[in-house]
Chain A
């Protein structure tokens, strides 16, 4: 009963209509401290084993109920970088000492996608007032029994679109003291300049879909969802495909030496359609005690893999829901306090300037009738 009464009081914003503004910044970098992401000090570059992840997700959203759903005006920037350990080791070696101490082999695989833009988002469902994908309010982790679903879409005008794909091998030989490369690159950037470039569209567009489905019983909830499933478009976006190979000499069938270029490729401008970096989430939430609820999330990020997280929520204080969270890969501890009209969330992996992961969420609601 105590949990039910508290849920009703802190969920008052869900009963009527409310204009909500939300500021959210979520940043993480495996190999570099966030303060060094400009690359000014590569001496702090420290790769993790396996794939190295870095992401930046900033969003400002103003939402209001409309026609049974939630309409939002939003501006966002999103960048995701997934690099193999070899990429980070090569950059660290070449960018600091210039050459490693011993022979080295580097497996190169890099995926980067970044975009920024503004537009509209629409969300509908049987609980449109709250985001099923995020505990960004005072709603309990364990929702009312039954099915809960949401579906939404974002249409953005893009001011910026960049992607880069690099695959191949690199190595360093200590004897001759030189690097060898055999790499293929695909690079698109709205700010790219190359000779004989034609005019192209001043902005791109993005169409992103979100969906969440959850089923709750009396003691537990299970849910699945997808976010940012969609495409990024830009007409005439400048793009470069290139290969870089240090094997510039070979022999033809008659034994004559032939020379090949170190770099070769092609510039092009086509109407590009790029897959957005989508995420899929699986959630399980359950009641631990009368005022305590816990949750587990497994989030799958395209090109990277699984990002697990855990939450613990305490609803014993009248009017405020407290939620602690732990993101396993980011090694980041978060704390959220949510009242009837406000939410504050802060999270970090360390309190010093060398933090690799930080999150800040601020939200405020103005009820109206």
Chain B
């Protein structure tokens, strides 16, 4: 799993290829490509 940071979001990649989710640092929500989301507090 790799992490690619954007301006306000952080993408999660599988095998450096497939994007499986994105984390929004403002809302603290991790959203997967199938639409599921959960809240995280990553301390960022």
Looking at the assembled complex, report how far the CB atom of A245 sits from the nearest CB atom of chain B, in whole angstroms: 10
In the complex, whether A267 has a CB less than 8 A from a CB of chain B is: yes
In the complex, whether B35 has a CB less than 8 A from a CB of chain A is: yes
- B31 x A264 contact (CB < 8 A): no
Interface bits B2-44 vs A (CB < 8 Å: 1, else 0): 0000000100000000000010100001010101111110000
CB-CB contacts below 8 Å: A259-287 with B: 261-268
- B38 x A196 contact (CB < 8 A): no
- A196 x B39 contact (CB < 8 A): no
Given known A-B contacts A195-B9, A195-B22, A196-B31, A266 and B36 have beta carbons under 8 A apart: yes
User: At the interface, is chain A mostly helix, strand, loop or mixed?
Assistant: strand
- B22 x A262 contact (CB < 8 A): no
| Complex contacts, B38 vs chain A, CB 8 Å | 261, 263-264
> Please, how many angstroms separate the alpha-carbon atoms of A265 and B30 in the complex?
11
The size class of the interface chain B forms with chain A is 10 to 19
Looking at the assembled complex, report how far the CB atom of A188 sits from the nearest CB atom of chain B, in whole angstroms: 14
In the complex, whether A366 has a CB less than 8 A from a CB of chain B is: no
- A195 x B39 contact (CB < 8 A): no
| Complex contacts, A263 vs chain B, CB 8 Å | 29, 37-39
| Complex contacts, B36 vs chain A, CB 8 Å | 264-267
CB-CB contacts below 8 Å: A218-272 with B: 242, 261-268
Looking at the assembled complex, report how far the CB atom of B33 sits from the nearest CB atom of chain A, in whole angstroms: 5
In the complex, whether A200 has a CB less than 8 A from a CB of chain B is: no
- B40 x A196 contact (CB < 8 A): no
